[in-house]
Amino acid sequence: MVSTFIGWRRPSKVKSQPYECGITPTGDAREPFSVKFYLVAMVFILFDVEAIFLYPWAYIFKDLARNVETRWFGFIEMMFYVAILLVGYIYLWKKGALDWHKTQK
């Protein structure tokens, strides 16, 4: 707090510019991103988080395999989960959300 009150304040144009790793910035820092960027980011996070749920199932599957009923129940439930993911993936693929080279209108 002391430096705030007694420190030197010499604002300049160079000090106000964003630091870009030693490279002189070009363009506007407030330039909007394409909506496609945000959609791809959300799809990645969605499938990444859903794929994380496969790890605990794989870890406990050996415990489920000891009993015939729980083995098949655990396997069928996970295949149902994977089928839901696959339907979502196919839907996004058909909608063109995964096409990087598609031109925007």
Q: How deeply is 86 buried, as exposed, middle or buried, from its count of CB atoms within 10 A (0-12, 13-18, 19+)?
A: exposed
Establish if 18 belongs to a structural domain: no
Question: Residues 2-35: pLDDT tens digits?
Answer: 887 887 788 888 777 766 676 776 777 677 777 7
* Domain with 54 in it: 32-95
Question: Residues 85-97: pLDDT tens digits?
Answer: 889 889 888 888 7
Establish if 44 belongs to a structural domain: yes
Where residue 96 falls (left for φ over 0; alpha for ψ -120 to 50; beta otherwise) is: left
In this structure, what DSSP letter does residue 36 have? H
- Tell me how many domains the chain contains: 1
Establish if 86 belongs to a structural domain: yes
Half-sphere exposure of 24 (CA within 13 A, CB side): 2
